[in-house]
Amino acid sequence: MDTATARPWDGLIVNAHLATLAGDSGYGTVEDGALGWQDGRIVFAGPRAELPGAGETLAVEVVDARGRWITPGLVDCHTHLVFGGDRAGEFEQRLQGVSYEEIARAGGGIVSTVHATRAAGEDGLLAQSLPRARALLAEGATTVEIKSGYGLELDGERRMLKVARRIGDETGLQVRTTFLGAHALPPEYAGRADAYIDAVCAWLPQLHGEGLVDAVDAFCERIGFDGAQTRRVFEAARALGLPVKLHADQLSDGDGAALVAEFGGLSADHVEHTSAAGVQAMARAGTVAVLLPGAFHVLRETKLPPLDEFRTQGVPMAVATDCNPGTSPLQSLRLAMSLACTHFRLTPEEALRGATVNGALALGLADRGRLQPGLRADFVLWDIGQPAELAYWLGGNPAVSVWIGGHRISH
Ligand code: NIG
Ligand code: FE
């Protein structure tokens, strides 16, 4: 506050340690820090000693954090959390030795969730999906990306995207929607993949016109769509000025990372099989690598993403849940961070950066992901003694309170 007549801040937390993530590396730790906010934005994030006045008179509400930690709100930049039914039966099949690809080729996998999702009405889909969004929120997620891709017909895709928007309204979460019409070939288009891509490209302007699409994704894979088909979806997105991202090189190297980079894409996701040339293309384009260790874990994969190449080429790495009923029934971004450390040997700091700053980058959002004046007041108060604990504990929930846009969200 500059003058005695200035309006008090809406809120101020004192006696907190901050992990601001403000610089390019490190936690950006501020011991004995304070965080102030007004009108949904951070106005102060720094040492308590540098507050411009006495704490009690600076803000309408003052919270004593009692030495606990504050981080930016977590950003889950890749989920499929709107879907009907579950695939526990398929989980059992895979444990008997049947592969994800074999199940998909036999008409199960994504297509079985398409049947369950089409059968659920909009309200039913919302009721099934809300608990998953609430689980993410309860553990500190403040921004969540949600994809379509289990409707695979215009009405079904629209319903999923509407439910995603409604989840934002119901929970207070910041929701970003992604149109994933090119997720799998629906049975009614068997043998006619190109015709299906024509339909997907025709639906996109309609759904975008209804305000339902923030970005566009595809599944570029042997059991998904090929490079030429993916390119057509990306061209339709580009014609509308929509950003693109891609399920790239998950089960095989299909040059997906280079393709999405060619379109200046926000992110290439999974990327286990991405080649050195793909990493270089991503580095040139500023495309983020979204690591999805939940799918790696559940599918018992062994091929690691090219992590050292991402580091040496300066490709930012994000970490997300990929919450979906097939490859990653994971409803905890903190557990995704833990899996990223254990399976991919990320440091706990890289994992936190991946679920905050770099997750925001993967969504093209420059207004969040760090604790810095001017950014959104999305943050979490944690009952931990050091930030590495966020990726360390398996289970439990150290989140004490979550604020989104300066509003404390009860859960
Ligand atoms: O990110 N690989 C494609 N899509 C999802 C899986 C979706 C599903 O199996 O239902 C993924 O792994
Ligand atoms: Fe996915």
CATH at 237 = 3.20.20.140
CATH at 398 = 2.30.40.10
Binding residues for N-formimidoyl-L-glutamate: 150, 324, 326
What is the reported pLDDT for 55? Answer: 63
The whole domain housing 56 covers 9-72+370-409
What is the reported pLDDT for 5? Answer: 57
> In this prediction, does ipTM exceed 0.90?
yes
Domain-terminating residue out of 362, 378, 398: 362
As a whole number of angstroms, the distance between CA 44 and CA 372 comes to 7
Hey, whose CA ends up nearest to atom 9 of ligand 1? Answer: 326
Do 37 and 79 belong together in one domain? no
User: Parallel, antiparallel, or unpaired: how do β-strands 29-38 and 41-47 relate?
Assistant: antiparallel
Do 379 and 317 belong together in one domain? no
Question: What contacts 24+ positions apart, CB below 8 Å, involve 98-103?
Answer: 100/251, 100/299, 100/326, 100/327, 101/222, 101/223, 101/251
Does ligand 1 lie within 6 Å of residue 77's CB atom? no
Do 311 and 229 belong together in one domain? yes
Buried b (16+ CB within 10 A) or exposed e, 27-54: bbebeebbbbbbeebbbbbbebeebeee
3-class DSSP assignment, residue 269: strand
Do 43 and 191 belong together in one domain? no
What is the reported pLDDT for 53? Answer: 81
Does ligand 1 lie within 6 Å of residue 326's CB atom? yes
Cα(1) to centroid of ligand 2, in Å?
45
What is the reported pLDDT for 3? Answer: 47
What is the reported pLDDT for 265? Answer: 98
What is the reported pLDDT for 26? Answer: 96
| Residues around the ion ligand 2 (C-beta < 5 A) | 322
Do 258 and 374 belong together in one domain? no
Do 201 and 323 belong together in one domain? yes
108 occurs within a structural domain: yes
What is the reported pLDDT for 281? Answer: 98
Does ligand 1 lie within 6 Å of residue 178's CB atom? no
Does ligand 1 lie within 6 Å of residue 79's CB atom? no
401 occurs within a structural domain: yes
Hey, whose CA ends up nearest to atom 12 of ligand 1? Answer: 327
As a whole number of angstroms, the distance between CA 216 and CA 243 comes to 6
1 occurs within a structural domain: no
What is the reported pLDDT for 54? Answer: 72
Hey, whose CA ends up nearest to atom 11 of ligand 1? Answer: 327
Do 230 and 354 belong together in one domain? yes
Do 288 and 384 belong together in one domain? no
Q: Which of 185, 327, 339 for a ligand 1 pocket mutation test, highest count of atoms within 8 Å of Cβ?
A: 327
List the chain pLDDT tens, one digit each, 411 residues: 444 457 899 999 999 999 999 999 999 999 999 999 999 999 999 999 999 987 668 999 999 999 999 999 999 999 999 999 999 999 999 999 999 999 999 999 999 999 999 999 999 999 999 999 999 999 999 999 999 999 999 999 999 999 999 999 999 999 999 999 999 999 999 999 999 999 999 999 999 999 999 999 999 999 999 999 999 999 999 999 999 999 999 999 999 999 999 999 999 999 999 999 999 999 999 999 999 999 999 999 999 999 999 999 999 999 999 999 999 999 999 999 999 999 999 999 999 999 999 999 999 999 999 999 999 999 999 999 999 999 999 999 999 999 999 999 975
Do 397 and 257 belong together in one domain? no
Does ligand 1 lie within 6 Å of residue 108's CB atom? no
Cα(227) to centroid of ligand 2, in Å?
17
What is the reported pLDDT for 57? Answer: 84
Does ligand 1 lie within 6 Å of residue 219's CB atom? yes
Burial tier of 167 (Cβ tally within 10 Å: 0-12, 13-18, 19+): buried
Tell me the two tokens of residue 20. Answer: 């601001």
Cα(340) to centroid of ligand 1, in Å?
18
On whether the CB atoms of residues 64 and 49 are closer than 8 A, the answer is no
The reply to whether the predicted model has a pTM over 0.90 is: yes
Does ligand 1 lie within 6 Å of residue 327's CB atom? yes
40 occurs within a structural domain: yes
Cα(329) to centroid of ligand 1, in Å?
10
What is the reported pLDDT for 133? Answer: 98
Do 39 and 163 belong together in one domain? no
Cα(270) to centroid of ligand 1, in Å?
10
What is the reported pLDDT for 410? Answer: 75
Cα(147) to centroid of ligand 2, in Å?
8
Does ligand 1 lie within 6 Å of residue 325's CB atom? yes
Do 379 and 358 belong together in one domain? no
Number of domains in the chain: 2
2 occurs within a structural domain: no
3-class DSSP assignment, residue 242: coil
Do 262 and 333 belong together in one domain? yes
Residue tagged 């553990």 (tokens):
139
Contact residues for 356 (Cβ-Cβ < 8 A; gap 6+) = 21, 71, 72, 73, 74, 75, 369, 370
Hey, whose CA ends up nearest to atom 1 of ligand 1? Answer: 322
As a whole number of angstroms, the distance between CA 233 and CA 384 comes to 44
4 occurs within a structural domain: no
66 occurs within a structural domain: yes
As a whole number of angstroms, the distance between CA 207 and CA 132 comes to 24
